[in-house]
Structure 1
């Protein structure tokens, strides 16, 4: 029967239809399964929010998709239609409106309530609200959501709208679904379906708060300004009242505004004198202030969030060298030390607040101050942006377009507009939000990737990037800068990937050239570049079971998605490190080379300051166990690259660089205090004893947020024997936060590095919480690393890639429960560059 409403304005109520709310869901395929695939039951229990893969996995009906070559074995899931069904009790008839809210449906879905079609949807990246009062009955109700097979649906849509160029093997650009769900050059092809976010029925009367946009900025005199826009919706029934009263409060300030149903939008401007501002990490505190919006009179409802008062500019000004790309927060320039972010798990419904915080802390503890949410992923949950607000991590937010041409016609056009408006409205409150970016590499693709012929005049997305998206940002979040794409040069008739202008992606190094080629670039801002390396040994061997284990084993290559990836890893060793025979040495050498390659690039780029204003590496995290560009693997183990980033992303960096006047030490002081120091400059012998061949003191003074170059004296910079000597630069005062810098006259393959048996000794002892492993050097020992996961996959180490001169000592702190001190000193666990060369 149809619910009868009354005129009483009762408090809004929610009928939670998720599993946590008590609803029971069942899942079943609705198209024929391929030969050889059977399910033990017609339907299985499902968890909502969830996805088909996780439900099948929980039921024990499929193996782990990440393991071995199961990816291919489970491809049938993406070619199958699926149905979710729930029967729930509803008894909430006193309200005028009953809305079904689906926060996330992945992707092409038809919703039926009690056998009647409510709606069809086709966008993973937005939420839906449907008035279902005509479909609901008192008592028992049946909700059915049918999902089309995602791969099949994408193919059909591609044919319908006209195929357009894209990378990888599925036409992900034909549908509004997370692109990397169809596979990427680091990602598993695991296209699935499901009710991936919350679902519920909201019952309400009178008026409700539909959306809130609290835009917090900072005046030049330190006054905080909160410009709040509240959109209201009236129920349209007899209980509706013509006006509503809203109160907005923040930091002790409060305003009350009235809004009529004819308008529907309320605006409040609050000024907060001498407010504590929000700063990115490394520049100040992350002050956050509670905002409360309360609705009264015509209805009841409230909204709360936090804001940070700040101004963020992205300056793209022409100058003598090209075009800048510079972040400026509260009037202060911020040098960017960042990384690209991908979804933290390929099965996205397993991501939690805790897992996100752990991964974002990986960024913060490495010295990063920015994460770029890449356009082939998803708009992240509130948890992600909340943690970034709290930790002072700026967020560069891509709209979800990546490496492909996109139709600008229906049915995509209206979906793109709807998702963009929702995303901007939802995320605009966050203090960390620093930039909206139209697309990833699509403008570059149009210019350089031979799209024009296959497109044959069809649209490719430019209308989104140049008109629709900037108009939406300008309307809904005018305080935040919009960029059409990355890379982008910020001028008409410019190549979009010109290093002299704006943002630059550098991929010829990984794909074609030695990493020393980074030195040929002088980018104003490098927003993508990187080098591959395998995950931790325990992570790799948990999913790759080839016998024998080898770089080109069948399962190994399942977990290497880049074109000729392992060949590029071997070629990338170049003259830097010898080619390796054993899989253990291959693993260590390629991990080390990854770390060195990226560190080499960043040190060079930072040495160009202020010409260069930042770097954003590809990439911070992984979504499954894979050989990739990530600094932290999918099991949360920080690869050697992460430790290299922690060194080169330190606020104070000393790096030895070639200059026209000779070999120099460049000091970048990215702090608010001048760096005044005495540096000990040494030229040392590499062998046992580490004889001092030349030594000088250098007095340096580097202003706050500045860089200074000092040419090294000839007796330091000019070796007697390039193969047996090196440069060591260290601050006399170890408390200045300036790590030593090393310079070499030859690559390791030509360098006389001592045998680690003679050059390095180690001891270990149990301490509270784990084991302390102390190493002592008797000669130059490069890049000492400890891999406790070889002993216990849950073990972690605090530091890595430690280079010691003769007489130097370092203690690694290892945490874990199954630790054998003697094993931690074994050759399989304790590695260094010397053993690769000597081996």
Structure 2
């Protein structure tokens, strides 16, 4: 449930179906969720089955035993018939006399997926055609006292898509991720672009093809009298230490002309009031107010993400209407200034340039109603623990649930928000453009008060695809005028419709036309905008290139891994435990996926001894590879001012670029991200003939610390060491050690050596990094004796670990049991002792049965 609620006299009355009628109270708004007694069927069939709302056709079919779990083995292939059929949902609900006595009675559909004809008592009241919109319909004339029937016919998005595809005079380029052939669509036609629906439902290179239909967000029956506050927007103006000034914009829907008093309150204390004349219809009215001695909202790591509880009230006669929202007081700007390199691209928060550390996130499931509040809490907790300050909501998924943005507000996570367009050219007929405009209005108005929203971005990769992926050539082959028509559609959507909505409904935030790009309609380069770098992976370039291929803002880059063994067991059988088995290839949607993982692995490691070892080494491979990017991007500040890797999460159990799997288990990469995004980072690296140690300080104050460097062998013998005092200025990156590596390593056997870099502040290690001079397969790594002991704590166990020799990538597992290790996949120096925490609910006896530890040398 969103924090933002419409209330009358600060209350929402939720009536359970079958409750006793109440006397009409004109001061109260009535809001019923229609979520019971739902049934569904394939259109034209006789038998109805029980349904869950919110839900989807696929999950309802699973619940009724009609289809098997599509995530298991190859089951996805057997259910592609579902999206070619129409589906029908119905329920009955009781409407009491007091509901119908209100001036207005409305049905509010928060999400219909997608082509939905809605009927009340046999009368059609709505023809919805956009998954991303909310639909409100005046329903009073269609309702009756007592039992009412609500019926929704969902038409096949594939059949309607084919009609639109065939009616168009040319084929729009793109949509390569639409797995139409797997979906058994006629002639492999990619129809996804014609429907305003989550693009990833049609397939992506990390997801299955499961084209859903259904009531995916709640349905409400609402009733009120005279007027209501449709939207409350808080526009911030000036901010100083003494005060912050704002305007509250009340969007009011009224039945008639009335005198009203509009007030703004902070935690119940009135800040300002205005007397206004409310006019019939939907109109906007303003109240200026200020907050004294404001506490600022900061991103994770820089300070508290302070929030204010604001209420807008409207009093008409004896009735009071109100709406609650939360705001954070902060200044945030996307800085685009010419410099000696090109044009900057960075975010300035409360007057300070801030390096953005984070990831791209995709939806948490193919079946969106299955995403729980706990899933969102875990996701944002992961981001916060991992020292992130930004997530990018990618344009092929959905505008996320309100809770996602509320949690980002509370935890200081900025959101780069794409509009829902990715990797395809789209039509621009007038009905389609108007549909897009209304979609954008719905979501911009829903989200514009959130301090976490940093940027509105038009689309993902469409501009660069048009210019460099051959799409223009595809258009040219279809007719001389086709490229102009296709490009005009792009301009209509991304240069006009979407920025116009942002300018009208959220003018304080920046609009960025496409990611990546160097400006509106300007192809991406490395010196003027953001960059998606896929030379590592698609181009087979070495991992080290992550640290040298630098742009002003790195908004995508990534490398794949499989899930851990306990997750693989949920979708595969032992006979499938080979990366080239049909099941493992099906749970890998990159066209070069498993082969590319193996290619990179064999450059760094020997062939692992078995399948489970392959998964473990793959995790380490992914983490070590992305580490080059995390650290290289940060060392390059202020030229580079953002590093968002692809991707944080998964929609199903699969081999993908994610750092947490479908069950939200941390892979090795997530542990590396946590360390790589610490506020202060020490980072040894090779730059040509130089061995350097960089220190990055994201704090807003100087760091005075001791830099300790040690060159040692794998048995613990120190070959060379140096300690020096360093002062690292606030918000900077620089090198604090710079030596010719050939001279430094002269006559030293680098197969047996490592460099340990440690930064110590006030006796506490605030960053440590271990650097190896060769790939693992060229190192003479000994077999260490790793010992551990377990001590019970209030929420799990402390595990004290020790080793006699170098222990590479110490990895604790507990099988399928639930738990979270505070650290994992870590290196330990010879003679070192380390304590990690395991948060779990299992007993010590059970833990002793399932807890195992391994190091990288065990994998070969």
Please give the TM-score of this superposition, normalised by the length of structure 2: 0.90
Structure 2: distance between partners of 1:549 and 1:820:
31
Question: Are residues 1:160 and 2:167 paired?
Answer: yes
Structure 2: distance between partners of 1:572 and 1:683:
28
Instruction: Determine which of 719, 733, 741 is the counterpart of 1:707.
Output: 733
Corresponding position of 2:664: 636
Once the two structures are superposed, the pairs formed by residues 22-171 of structure 1 within 5 Å of their partners are 23-30=36-43, 42-91=47-96, 92-161=99-168, 163-164=171-172, 165-168=174-177, 169=179, 170-171=190-191
Distance 1:149 1:772, change over 3 A: same
Report if the CA contact (8 A) 2:114-2:197 is conserved: yes
Structure 1: distance between partners of 2:699 and 2:127:
54
Corresponding position of 1:270: 289
Structure 1: distance between partners of 2:242 and 2:69:
54
* Structure 1 alignment gaps of length 5 or more: 1-7, 33-40
* Structure 2 alignment gaps of length 5 or more: 1-23, 180-189, 476-481
In the TM superposition, residue 435 of structure 1 has moved relative to its aligned partner by 0.7
Structure 1: distance between partners of 2:746 and 2:308:
57
In the TM superposition, residue 375 of structure 1 has moved relative to its aligned partner by 0.6
Distance 1:647 1:231, change over 3 A: same
Corresponding position of 1:835: 858
Corresponding position of 2:786: 761
Once the two structures are superposed, the pairs formed by residues 440-459 of structure 1 within 5 Å of their partners are 440-455=460-475, 456-457=482-483, 458-459=485-486
Report if the CA contact (8 A) 1:682-1:716 is conserved: no
Structure 1: distance between partners of 2:798 and 2:393:
37
Deviates more, 1:62-71 or 1:420-429: 62-71
Please give the TM-score of this superposition, normalised by the length of structure 1: 0.92
In the TM superposition, residue 217 of structure 1 has moved relative to its aligned partner by 4.9
Structure 1: distance between partners of 2:842 and 2:810:
22
Structure 2: distance between partners of 1:465 and 1:389:
27
Distance 1:812 1:734, change over 3 A: farther
Report if the CA contact (8 A) 2:39-2:51 is conserved: yes
Question: Are residues 1:567 and 2:595 paired?
Answer: yes
Structure 2: distance between partners of 1:719 and 1:125:
64
Give secondary structure in 2 for the equivalent of 1:291: strand
Question: Are residues 1:808 and 2:832 paired?
Answer: yes
> Could you list the per-position Cα deviations for residues 251-307 of structure 1 after superposition, in whole angstroms to 9, with x for gaps in the alignment?
641222414316721112212121111111112211111111122216642210111
Corresponding position of 1:507: 534
Corresponding position of 2:776: 748
Question: Are residues 1:361 and 2:370 paired?
Answer: no
Deviates more, 1:78-87 or 1:725-734: 725-734
In the TM superposition, residue 661 of structure 1 has moved relative to its aligned partner by 7.1
Structure 2: distance between partners of 1:737 and 1:191:
50
Once the two structures are superposed, the pairs formed by residues 391-406 of structure 1 within 5 Å of their partners are 391-406=411-426
Instruction: Determine which of 785, 790, 797 is the counterpart of 2:821.
Output: 797
Report if the CA contact (8 A) 2:563-2:653 is conserved: yes
Corresponding position of 1:302: 322
Distance 1:280 1:552, change over 3 A: same
Once the two structures are superposed, the pairs formed by residues 631-780 of structure 1 within 5 Å of their partners are 631-659=659-687, 662-686=690-714, 688=715, 690-713=716-739, 716=744, 718=746, 720-733=748-761, 735-754=763-782, 756=783, 759-768=784-793, 769-780=795-806
Corresponding position of 1:5: none
Give secondary structure in 2 for the equivalent of 1:723: helix
In the TM superposition, residue 491 of structure 1 has moved relative to its aligned partner by 6.7
> Could you list the per-position Cα deviations for residues 443-467 of structure 1 after superposition, in whole angstroms to 9, with x for gaps in the alignment?
1111112222443233342322112
Structure 2: distance between partners of 1:422 and 1:283:
32
Deviates more, 1:260-269 or 1:180-189: 260-269
> Could you list the per-position Cα deviations for residues 180-216 of structure 1 after superposition, in whole angstroms to 9, with x for gaps in the alignment?
1222111122211111112122222322222221223
Structure 2: distance between partners of 1:81 and 1:295:
44
Structure 1: distance between partners of 2:242 and 2:848:
54
Structure 1: distance between partners of 2:531 and 2:543:
16
Deviates more, 1:166-175 or 1:812-821: 812-821
Structure 2: distance between partners of 1:289 and 1:717:
57
Structure 2: distance between partners of 1:331 and 1:639:
36
> Could you list the per-position Cα deviations for residues 767-787 of structure 1 after superposition, in whole angstroms to 9, with x for gaps in the alignment?
234444433222222221212
Distance 1:213 1:163, change over 3 A: farther
Once the two structures are superposed, the pairs formed by residues 288-687 of structure 1 within 5 Å of their partners are 288-297=307-316, 300-455=320-475, 456-457=482-483, 458-459=485-486, 460-490=489-519, 494-496=522-524, 498-513=525-540, 514-659=542-687, 662-686=690-714
**Cα RMSD (Å):** 2.3
Report if the CA contact (8 A) 2:601-2:621 is conserved: yes
Deviates more, 1:714-723 or 1:353-362: 714-723
Structure 1: distance between partners of 2:349 and 2:761:
31
Give secondary structure in 1 for the equivalent of 2:89: strand
Give secondary structure in 2 for the equivalent of 1:134: helix
Deviates more, 1:307-316 or 1:456-465: 456-465
Report if the CA contact (8 A) 1:14-1:200 is conserved: no
In the TM superposition, residue 604 of structure 1 has moved relative to its aligned partner by 1.2
Corresponding position of 2:182: none
Deviates more, 1:585-594 or 1:566-575: 566-575
Structure 2: distance between partners of 1:454 and 1:250:
57
In the TM superposition, residue 652 of structure 1 has moved relative to its aligned partner by 0.7
Structure 2: distance between partners of 1:824 and 1:831:
15
Instruction: Determine which of 13, 18, 30 is the counterpart of 1:14.
Output: 30
Structure 2: distance between partners of 1:117 and 1:50:
22
Structure 1: distance between partners of 2:759 and 2:224:
66
Distance 1:490 1:727, change over 3 A: same
Question: Are residues 1:254 and 2:272 paired?
Answer: yes
Structure 2: distance between partners of 1:659 and 1:553:
41
Report if the CA contact (8 A) 1:10-1:94 is conserved: no
The aligned length equals 805
Give secondary structure in 1 for the equivalent of 2:597: helix
Corresponding position of 2:19: none
> Could you list the per-position Cα deviations for residues 773-805 of structure 1 after superposition, in whole angstroms to 9, with x for gaps in the alignment?
4332222222212122x2x33133220122122
Structure 1: distance between partners of 2:129 and 2:33:
21
Report if the CA contact (8 A) 1:771-1:821 is conserved: no
Structure 1: distance between partners of 2:806 and 2:511:
49
Structure 2: distance between partners of 1:532 and 1:286:
33
Give secondary structure in 2 for the equivalent of 1:318: coil
Give secondary structure in 2 for the equivalent of 1:575: helix
Give secondary structure in 2 for the equivalent of 1:511: coil
Report if the CA contact (8 A) 1:764-1:771 is conserved: no
Report if the CA contact (8 A) 1:716-1:727 is conserved: no
Deviates more, 1:457-466 or 1:107-116: 457-466
In the TM superposition, residue 330 of structure 1 has moved relative to its aligned partner by 1.1
In the TM superposition, residue 337 of structure 1 has moved relative to its aligned partner by 0.6
Report if the CA contact (8 A) 1:28-1:84 is conserved: yes
Distance 1:674 1:154, change over 3 A: same
Corresponding position of 2:13: none
